[in-house]
Structure 1
Amino acid sequence: MTTEADLSIRLTRAAFNRALAEADLAAIGPLLAPDAVLVTGTDSALLSGRKAQLLAWKREFAAPERVIYTRTPDRVVASSIEPIAFEHGTWQGAVGDRIIASGDYTAKWRQTGAAWLIEAELYLTLG
């Protein structure tokens, strides 16, 4: 059974994926909590805060061979006692049709008003 949280998070993730594909920083910002944390998959670099993530994405978008990252949720687990949820899934980075990296990820979300915001993401590179 799909819960309201599950559907909202999947729709927000789809919007995030579109923003990455379109290099749309303005669309990414509102999807991240102000203190959002991201731990990258290969070197475990820590990006702490919305501003740090937006700067990193800005650099990624300017790269001569731009990688398009896509996250695909497998499941979303919402807490029954707090407005928080975990998203588990797979990710990939591609240049054109060539996948250059992929793996698993987990994201923690928090509902703020009607919106679900990403608080933390942790990536594992497997390929």
Structure 2
Amino acid sequence: MTTEADLSIRLARAAFNRALAEADLATIGPLLAPDAILVTGTDSALISGRKAQLLAWKREFAAPERVIYTRTPERVIASSVEPIAFEHGTWQGVVCDRLIASGDYTAKWRQAGAAWMIEAEVYLTLT
């Protein structure tokens, strides 16, 4: 299960990154569990639920100088007893090829059928 989970989650994260770059809410939605939680990196704001996160991304996408966020997984650890996994990695926010923030993150994923969905993400701003 670990190899399949690792590959599936890395592919889902790549799709999420592309969707962020392309302002594609339709792709982001199914990657988030209905009750997904996001804790932001700088002020620890809590964005709770798929709908709230999609609304937050919609606002981000409308910004005049839009930040492009990218998450880069460094490791994925799958549970051997439940259809869940942790993804650990680094993130960055770029505006016009200029790095404005970066740090570490952890995401919890849950498998539902063949798909993996994000249940929770916690970000830490380091720069």
Correspondence for 2:27: 27
Instruction: For residue 69 of structure 2, give the secondary structure of its aligned residue in structure 1.
Output: strand
What CA distance in whole angstroms lies between the structure 2 residues aligned with 1:96 and 1:5? 34
Correspondence for 2:11: 11
Any runs of at least 4 consecutive aligned residues in structure 1 with deviations exceeding 6 A, and if so which? none
Correspondence for 1:69: 69
What CA distance in whole angstroms lies between the structure 1 residues aligned with 2:11 and 2:26? 17
Q: Using structure 2 for the length normalisation, give the TM-score.
A: 0.98
- Residues 25-104 of structure 1 aligned to structure 2 (within 5 Å): 25-104=25-104
What CA distance in whole angstroms lies between the structure 2 residues aligned with 1:3 and 1:26? 27
The superposition leaves residues 18-49 of structure 1 with CA deviations (integer Å, 9 ceiling, x where unpaired) of 00000000110000000000000000000000
Correspondence for 1:112: 112
Instruction: For residue 99 of structure 2, give the secondary structure of its aligned residue in structure 1.
Output: strand
Question: Over the residues paired in the alignment, what is the CA RMSD in angstroms?
Answer: 0.6
2:103 partner letter: G
1:63 partner letter: A
Q: Which runs of 5+ in 2 are unaligned?
A: none
Instruction: For residue 101 of structure 1, give the secondary structure of its aligned residue in structure 2.
Output: strand
Instruction: For residue 36 of structure 1, give the secondary structure of its aligned residue in structure 2.
Output: strand
What CA distance in whole angstroms lies between the structure 2 residues aligned with 1:62 and 1:97? 18
Q: Which runs of 5+ in 1 are unaligned?
A: none
CA displacement at 1:77 relative to structure 2: 0.1
What CA distance in whole angstroms lies between the structure 1 residues aligned with 2:95 and 2:18? 15
CA displacement at 1:96 relative to structure 2: 1.7
